[in-house]
Structure 1
Amino acid sequence: MKVKLTTWAITWSLVLLASLVPLLMAVLDLIHPLWVTLIPVVLVLALALLRLRIIRRQVRALGYLEREEDFIVRSGVLWRKQVVIPYGRMQYVEVNSGPLERRYGLCRLTLNTAGSAATAHVFGLPEAEGQALRERLVAAGEEKML
């Protein structure tokens, strides 16, 4: 949740800053009607607040399940997605983390299958849990391929 909120704040701050350009033009007397300067700001604020409302639901919708024969990853609020990957089809498993994820001690696990038919991402795992999950998935994949 912290990574999503930080990303939201950075992104929408930059967009809001860009939407203030017409207001600057009005101050410099380049645009006369006041409503022209306020529309971009109001629109950006409305979209930012809408996006903020969705973030919590998106984080709650993330999940994974390790089963005996396969691995299931679920995500999405409006467009729900569930990927089932049999252990025997896993090609490689990698653990990544960007600067914000590292700051909060999190990582992202990516599973790729043979033939690139499916790719699954597990977001927001604590670093130690991500590494342990990677090891378990690699071991299960090697066991099922033999």
Structure 2
Amino acid sequence: MATATPWSPSSFTPAHRDYAKVKLTTWAITWGVILLASLVPAVLAATGAGIALWLVLAPILLVLLLALLALRIIRRQVAALGYLEREEDFIVRSGVMWRKQVVIPYGRMQYVEVNSGPLERRYGLCQLTLNTAGTGATAHVYGLPEREGQELRERLVAAGEEQML
């Protein structure tokens, strides 16, 4: 028997739209490096090594195909990110193909940290990481504006301290 969830997808706070730019930049850097590596057989063939044409073209075509597939899913991945603050717990969702929702009771939060890499800082974004006591569950909230991330961290810490009393 299936039960309906007490929250709707529209009730989640989504990742900031600039987080898609961070993901696209990361995609471009990663796949650019992989594409350069796939050009090694072409360079060897150009220097006179006896390499079959299919061994030169296959890695390049494979990398381009995989890169385009990864590119196609980025916007959906960002749209799938979100969080929901409830009275007793905090819910984090993510994933397109493998969907994941982590429900963390405020009383189980051990610590909450705010991180940001160079690309995230460039767009004024951060990532919030929640770690829990006991089972060691960790939840990540991606694509938060820096100020919102700090405020959310303070609210979560306050809610966690309130639940522990």
Which bracket does the TM-score occupy, shorter chain normalised?
over 0.9
Matched, 1:110 2:129: yes
Distance 1:19 1:88 in 2: 50
Q: Structure 1: which 5+ runs fail to align?
A: none
| Residue of structure 2 in register with 1:79 after alignment | 98
After TM superposition, which residue ranges in structure 1, 4 or more long, deviate above 3 angstroms? Answer: none
Contact persistence 1:15–1:44 (CA under 8 A):
yes
Instruction: Report what 1:126 is aligned to.
Output: 145
Aligned to 1:13: 32
Task: Note the alpha carbon deviations across 1:76-125, whole angstroms, 9 max, x for none.
Answer: 11111100000011000000001111111000000000124311000010
Secondary structure of the structure 1 residue equivalent to 2:134: helix
**Matched residues, percent identical?**
79
- Matched residue type, 2:32: S
Higher share in helix: 1
Structure 2 CA distance for aligned equivalents of residues 26 and 15 of structure 1:
19
Aligned residues: 146
Q: CA deviation at 1:31?
A: 2.7
Give the equivalent residue in structure 2 for 1:29: 48
TM-score by length of 1: 0.98
Which of 131, 140, 144 is 2:159 aligned to? 140
Aligned residue number for residue 118 of structure 2: 99
Higher relative contact order (CA 8 A, sep 6+): 2
CA-based RMSD: 0.8
TM-score, length basis structure 2: 0.87
